[in-house]
Amino acid sequence: MAAQNLQSVPAELTAGTSETAEADGQANFDRVIAEDSRIEPKDWMPAAYRKTLLRQISQHAHSEIIGMQPEANWISRAPSLKRKAILMAKVQDEAGHGLYLYSAAESLGQNRDEMTDALIAGKARYSSIFNYPALTWADMGAIGWLVDGAAICNQVPLCRASYGPYGRAMVRICKEESFHQRQGFEILLELSNGTPAQKQMAQDAVNRWYAPALMMFGPPDDDSPNSKQSMAWNIKRFSNDELRSRFVGMMVEQVRVLGLTLPDDQIRFNEDSKKWEHGPLDWDEFHEVLAGRGPCNSQRLERRREAHDGGAWVREAAAAYAQKQSMKTKEYAA
């Protein structure tokens, strides 16, 4: 995240018309991208680059915030004190990730409260995955292993995103995500080694989360209009299909250790392309969920709104207290 909105002390030698400034800015931007260096908040950047980043970062932030819900719902019913503590730490991390990302978005000139308003008004998008319900305890395992696993696969290359504050936020997030995936794996492993009913519960959760997790990488490359430009700008480093294929390869190995199976009999390694292939995914469902018509969309937004409204008195009280303190300080000074 950046030191953002900082006052700049203008250099004396920057006088020039806005057109030459624009051309110079573009030239500098092109050079930085060509060198695979980083753009920082106060640098000139093309309007479309700023817009693309804002869309991606704010959606990402919203996903982290909404992503707290499926797991927070299970804290009270986690099977042991240890599991409760782990789940609380994980949910707290998701909140933290949302805040890192909101900060990065703000460094592009977006107002934090406007982002919050857009989310609770249902105008902002977030990852479709969080609109599926977490039905059993095994879902906490499958979410950690598959959903956080897919997120890590997606996010590790984003640590090198050309926009500095975004890359730095992703570095911090990726460090914390690996605990999320491992604790999920462990939950599934324990269930898999438990009673037949527990093993069945683990398999059922994997069956339900597998396809939605694969769809987290976004639409297939030939149906992903923004990908090409994002890659040219060094925001994205790999295409959706490339990352998805890589993820499938990792899961194939790991599911064996779990003693479970993936619900896809078409997984195979293509010797020609050297890539993992998987069965067809239901992209109509993906677009429906993204458009707000998934199993839990309204429930998630409703909960977010309640939390926001329920916290209003805290924000107001803190602001009132801060104002009172600053007036007291002024009185002393006078």
Partner 1 sequence: MSPHGNPEAPASSATEINREAPKASPAPQEHTDHAWGLWEVFVRSSRGLSHVHAGSLHAPDAAMALRNARDLYTRRNEGVSIWVVPADAIAASDPDSKGAFFESPQGKDYRHATYYTKSEGVKHL
Binding to partner 1 (CB under 8 A): which residues in 144-183?
168-169, 172, 176
Q: Which two tokens stand for residue 30?
A: 């092109």
Nearer to partner 1, 211 or 243 (CB): 211
Site map 231..260 versus partner 1, x via CB under 8 A: ------------------------------
The rounded distance, in Å, linking the Cα atoms of 35 and 315 is: 44
Nearer to partner 1, 161 or 243 (CB): 161
Q: Are the C-beta atoms of residues 203 and 260 closer than 8 Å to each other?
A: yes
The rounded distance, in Å, linking the Cα atoms of 108 and 2 is: 10
Q: Which of 48, 228, 299, 306 binds partner 1 (CB under 8 A)?
A: 299
Shortest distance in whole angstroms from residue 322 CB to partner 1: 4
Closest C-alpha to 138, from 74, 216, 82: 74
Is residue 315 at the binding interface for partner 1, with CB under 8 A as the rule? yes
Stretch that binds partner 1, among 59-67, 155-163, 193-201, 282-290 (CB under 8 A): 282-290
DSSP letter string, 248-314: HHHHHHHHHHHT---S-TT-EEETTTTEEE-----HHHHHHIIIIISSSHHHHHHHHHHHHHHTHHH
Closest C-alpha to 160, from 216, 233, 221: 233
Residues 207-236 touching partner 1, rule: CB under 8 A, are 208
**For tokens 């926009």, what's the residue?**
163
Q: Which of 134, 143, 158, 281 binds partner 1 (CB under 8 A)?
A: 134
Shortest distance in whole angstroms from residue 288 CB to partner 1: 5
Nearer to partner 1, 193 or 299 (CB): 299
Closest C-alpha to 1, from 149, 112, 130: 112
Stretch that binds partner 1, among 41-49, 154-162, 238-246, 249-257 (CB under 8 A): 41-49
* Per-residue CA distances from 154 to 32, 60, 172, 226, 245 (Å): 24, 11, 14, 16, 11
Shortest distance in whole angstroms from residue 271 CB to partner 1: 34
Nearer to partner 1, 57 or 243 (CB): 57
Stretch that binds partner 1, among 152-160, 185-193, 227-235, 298-306 (CB under 8 A): 298-306
Residues touching partner 1: how many (CB under 8 A)? 74
Shortest distance in whole angstroms from residue 50 CB to partner 1: 15
Residue 129 is classified by DSSP as G
The rounded distance, in Å, linking the Cα atoms of 156 and 217 is: 13
Residues 55-94 touching partner 1, rule: CB under 8 A, are 70, 73, 76-77, 89, 92-93
Residues 18-37 touching partner 1, rule: CB under 8 A, are 21, 24-25, 28
Radius of gyration for the alpha carbons in the chain, expressed in angstroms and rounded? 22
The rounded distance, in Å, linking the Cα atoms of 77 and 330 is: 50
Shortest distance in whole angstroms from residue 196 CB to partner 1: 22
Q: Which of 20, 26, 178, 326 binds partner 1 (CB under 8 A)?
A: 326
The rounded distance, in Å, linking the Cα atoms of 124 and 116 is: 9
Shortest distance in whole angstroms from residue 73 CB to partner 1: 4
CA atoms within 13 A on the CB side of 205: 30
Shortest distance in whole angstroms from residue 187 CB to partner 1: 16
Shortest distance in whole angstroms from residue 280 CB to partner 1: 16
Nearer to partner 1, 235 or 289 (CB): 289
